[in-house]
Structure 1
Amino acid sequence: MLKKVGFMIIGIILLLGLGACNDANTEKIEKAKTPQEIIPIDGEEDMDDLEEYFDEFDDMDDIDEQTELLDGLVVGETADFDGFKITLNESRIEPGGEFDIQQEEQFVVVNITIENHTDEEKRISPWLNFELKDEEGYTYLEAYLTEGIRKAPDGTLLADEILRGDIPFDVPVSDSYKLYFSDDDFNVKAIWTISASELE
């Protein structure tokens, strides 16, 4: 009899303990409702820092709106960004050399002149700044060509320096192409349209 009473008392104590734990867990879950409670915030200064952190991500959505875009250019025309000028002088087809590996159907080469009439130096990379897009929307970066071209315009331009060179692209045959120049550091972009009939 005493054993049964003892077991009953132990059982009641365990049930009360489990109930208290469940209430405590429920209270913790109900309390964690706000970002301030999920992410520890120590005073108004920390809260301001957190809001500023998330505002930086919101500002990234406006980058495209801040970019200066010059579209509708054609061969022979210049994109002028306050003294920083890029000219598409010509476009042509090159057969390539014996050791040039062609993945697509033809090598389209563009000849570019870049002028820096600003107070800041400019870093130019054909691989990073230029791409060619066909009429189906596929884009192509600078290809490797050993014959029929001059050195690509690659390097740093100081104030009032000029850089000129050829950039080859390995592309399929298309009725037209678009040459894109972009520089994220200075938020500028220019687009030239090249008709297949203009390829010399």
Structure 2
Amino acid sequence: MSKKKWLIEASTCFLVLGLAACSSGESEKKSDDKELNVDAKFDKEKTDKFYNTVTKKLGETANVDDLAITVDSPQVVPDDELSKNKNGQFIKMNITIENKGKKNHKISELLHFNIQKGDTQYFATVVSGATENHLNGNISPGEKQSGIATFDISKEGDFKFEFSGFSKDRGIWTFTQEDIQPAQ
């Protein structure tokens, strides 16, 4: 096989693999045949076996590593503050984290928080200017910080808010659509 032909075949193979990887985004159909974008599917059983999980109700505190985390009732973010939401509603989770350890902890709503509904995970949605007081940054030993994380989630179902650090420990707070407070 000539070097030129081999190079063309190898390039074609990489192009096909690249296109296949890019087209792996998930979508579902609602009952009215409109496409619904889903943030991510995951293997719930495999994930649950991996973590040491503390499950709490809203308003209760979970100790994850050396952080004490309290999650209060979620609240709908007014639609006039945001562009069209793809999953149904934007909510903000009110979170307080106290560092009871001896070292600094960097918190990122994009890395540490998610909401689960069945086998779907919704990741934090950072909306510039629409909401303030996002919980991101450094928490020093003995310090307590409060803030929010925003999510674009469906309008029905049972949910789990998850905080996971960089260990095998995580906290989960369960809530339903009825627990979500209306926009103010």
Which range, TM-score by smaller chain?
Answer: 0.5 to 0.7
Tell me, yes or no, if structure 1 residue 198 matches structure 2 residue 179.
yes
Tell me, yes or no, if structure 1 residue 151 matches structure 2 residue 146.
no
In structure 2, how many angstroms separate the alpha carbons of the residues matched to 1:102 and 1:66? 32
Match for 1:123: what amino acid?
K
In structure 1, how many angstroms separate the alpha carbons of the residues matched to 2:112 and 2:58? 18
> After superposition, where does 1:32-181 map in structure 2 within 5 Å?
67-71=51-55, 73-81=56-64, 83-134=66-117, 136-146=118-128, 149-181=131-163
- Aligned-residue RMSD, C-alpha: 2.3
Higher helix content, 1 or 2: 1
Between Structure 1 and Structure 2, how many residues are aligned?
A: 135
Higher strand content, 1 or 2: 2
Residue deviations 1:11-36 (CA, integer Å, cap 9, x gap): xxxxxxxxxxxxxxxxxxxxxxxxxx
Distance 1:138 1:81, change over 3 A: closer
Match for 1:124: what amino acid?
I
In structure 2, how many angstroms separate the alpha carbons of the residues matched to 1:99 and 1:111? 18
In structure 2, how many angstroms separate the alpha carbons of the residues matched to 1:105 and 1:82? 33
> What TM-score results when the alignment is normalised by the length of structure 2?
0.65
Structure 1 residue runs of 4 or more that deviate by more than 6 Å after TM superposition: none
Residue deviations 1:99-142 (CA, integer Å, cap 9, x gap): 534112111211000100111111111000000112x3211111
Identity of aligned residues (%): 25
Indicate if the aligned counterparts of 1:182 and 1:190 stay in contact, CA closer than 8 A. yes
In structure 1, how many angstroms separate the alpha carbons of the residues matched to 2:129 and 2:175? 22
In the TM superposition, what is the alpha-carbon distance from 1:187 to its structure 2 partner?
Answer: 2.9
Indicate if the aligned counterparts of 1:95 and 1:106 stay in contact, CA closer than 8 A. no
Match for 1:162: what amino acid?
K
In structure 2, how many angstroms separate the alpha carbons of the residues matched to 1:178 and 1:150? 23
Match for 2:168: what amino acid?
N
Instruction: Pick 1 or 2: higher relative contact order, CA cutoff 8 A, min separation 6.
Output: 2
Q: Which runs of 5+ in 1 are unaligned?
A: 1-63
In structure 1, how many angstroms separate the alpha carbons of the residues matched to 2:136 and 2:159? 22
Distance 1:198 1:99, change over 3 A: closer
